[in-house]
Structure 1
Amino acid sequence: MELTWRLAAIAGCVALAACVAFAVLWPHRHRPGDLRPLANTNRLTRLPEYRRARRRNAISVWSAVALLVVSFGAAVVATARPTGLPTLTHGSEAAAPQDIMICAGAPASDAPVTATLQFFADSARGFTTERIGLSSANRRVVPLTRDYQYAAAEFTAYARHIKRSDARPFVAPVRYTGYTPNIDDLLALCMTGFPPAAGSSTPRRSVIYVGPEASNDDAGRLFTAAALRDLAAANKIQVNAIIVGDGGGTVSALVHDTGGRSHSATDIGASLRDITRHPPPADRTNVAAKPLETPDVALLVALLAACGAAWWRHRSAEHAQWRTWRWAGFGVAALLLIAAGIRPTIGATAPPPQTAGAREPNIFLVVDRSSNMTAPGADGRSHAAEASADIAQLIDRYPTARFAVVGFASGPVVEWPLSADGWSLKPVVTTPVTYRTTELTPPDAGAASTVLRYQLLSAVQQYPDAKNLVYYLGAGTPESVTPQREFDLPEGVVAGGAVIGYGGDAVPTLPAVAQQIGVPYVQRTEAGLPAEALTDVARPAEQPTGQAERGTELYWVLSGLAAVLLLVELFLTLREAARTRLDRVRL
């Protein structure tokens, strides 16, 4: 626990000490109504009834004094604006972003994996700031993305075993020599799917593994159990697991070391709900996730102690006249503490949800996959191979950016959703790909116009502070006689980019595309990507903390007033205890 206003706590301690000193040391003045001392009271004070009354009076008074001290101290703590205490509200910190990587250690046809994919296909539609991804034994099936529609479609397709194209299998058909795939290396692949944190902001990261337990044998592995622990600790990753079969291996140990949760593959839905209800804790080094004041416990203790003190005072004074204003003081103090617990605030608005890399640029790669890209370029390679090299250069140029890849020939395909996982994108784009076309479906230079439009609209909604760059890489449609679709993009959304033409035949078509998108047209040369095609992006500013939108809380004013009333009552109770002699207790 930390106190924002330590001076208030010091002032409270000084006031309490002064109250006790004055109540005990200040001389008493006898009033006409005071009881007078009696003579020859020895026989009276030895009576059992008198001793019981004396004992009851002492217990009541000093219990009330103790509870008043506790109530006053708790009210002072609340007035000092504490942080770090348990809180009764979930609004004590800004919504911290979360990254979730599903790690499939078994084929998609296995029932636990199928149930997991369907669970997150349904859950993804309700996400707001989360990024979700999917990794299989040797492939990044879905990179971490906030394109929830794409993620839900991919998860559903693999969960329902819908036939995919040969270019996108759940597990790539790779034949290894001198290496055997294993669970430990799969976990390392899943943990490397988290992009580097932007600036000082680190999202909450969790891996949810579904599959069999890993053995403790380190033979033939690239990553040992110790290396996995170091990788998880360095990247602040929490590992959770749904284990098929017996546990007790390296997966269970990694779950324990990272503070995650482990379940057997019996009730997949209940296990995943339990895991998602217990996400990793927010990174306290993230400015956006710093906690607000947490006076709830102190206010609750002060209220309960004040009510207890009032009950003891009522018990000790039930046969005596007690002034009404004393009861009113207790009532007003209790009402002030209750009002403080409501946490009234002036000028408060809901803090904006924090998004990982909110100011990093969004780069949309619109890539021609038609047969026109198979023609050789100036350096002897095909245009498709040149485009792959240029995309790799763009990834290196903007290492913290989010990339989306839209391929097209006669129609568009979202090959890669908007994601900051450039490390996984590079191997995908280095392999030249072309789509088959027919005479009935010829290539269309504007085939990706609708998809690009909706991708840009989605990016503006999710990342309103980020710049959007569009790079169109194509060879045009020199032999097409059909009208080409035009790009109709939202005005003012595209902040830069270029249309890059491959081959001399691209000139008649692509300058018009560049004009429609609102970026310059450049011709690709043998030297590679032209310098004028690269857009300078300013260094992103720091993430907003949301502090200005929290408003001014007034609970500490109310708890301070309650502390003053409690201190007055404590002073009067101590004065009565010091003034009342034991041989004048009313029977």
Structure 2
Amino acid sequence: MIFQPVLNPLLIALLCAPVAVVAIWVLVRPRKSAGVPTTDRRALAGHRALWALRLLLVLACFAMLMRPGIPGGATQTLANDTDIVLVVDTTASIVAEDWGDDEPRLDGIREDVRALVDEYPGARFALITSDAAAELRMPLTTDTTALMGSLEVLRPEVTSQSRGSSIGIAAPLLSETLASAAESSPDRSRMVFYFGDGEQTADTPPESFASSAKYTDSGAVFGYGTAGGGPMRITTGGISEQDGGYIQYQGADALSVIDESNLEAIADQLGVEYAHRTADAAPVLPEAPSMTTDYADSGEVGNVIELYWVAALAALAILGVELARAALLIARLRRLRAPRRRVGSRNREDSRPRH
């Protein structure tokens, strides 16, 4: 038997012991002081049975707080020997509203990353964002909750600070991240996924991702946007996504248009496939590299089979008995308090003279 108390055992004992002592004292005290006629043995037996149930309730609560269990349980875990680096374009154009029903492109990226997490359970994920500069937002980790949380709060660069950006600005940081992962874990495979619209607004040619190809076993480049383009809202760095109006160009809403040739060039440099993403189709994801451990052969972690639920069921049953008894006593008390009129008194009232 193994115990995993939710509180210090001494504190649990101090909470339960006084109530248990009172219940035991009521059970063992003499009949005359029990408040029940000594001649009514049935009532006395019922009285003691009630307090025995209350003592059992205290013991059940004590058992629940001590959290008993037995060793021998096991939890199946996933061991995926894959590192996945996500590169997300966070320039102003990533919120252009041409995804689905005029939603921001960033919403589509979030949906696709969620599909990635479901497709490669147990993998380690890293997140890199790129706008005017590249930043490693989250190093390699298996905490996918943190990954999705980072994407939910992700916002594009402030519009007033935008001075043009290169779609390849994250290339050096990506190569560095992959090289570090390959050095620390050479037996793990590596995948790269690039998310963007391919718009090059800097005056210089985009940097090449070719230096990352030797570390990349698989992955994909996903393109977002349409040929017709979508308007972009002004971002001010506030909490709300509806901070201002739309970016203007020559008296009209500026439109961001996807550049698939640039995205295809990035895919060629990384040695992966390119795919144009739309809201009406799920992403086609590559199979995990051959170096990935088979999910079915993952290890098992020792665990404890919890038994506190047995005590919880006992406590629930006793509370049900107490509630039923209380309901009966209330009903009986209401009947005793109901007014009763005698026939004679009613006749006397009727015979009184009326004025």
Instruction: Please report the TM-score for the alignment, with normalisation by the length of structure 2.
Output: 0.50
> Relative to total residues, which structure has the larger strand share, 1 or 2?
2
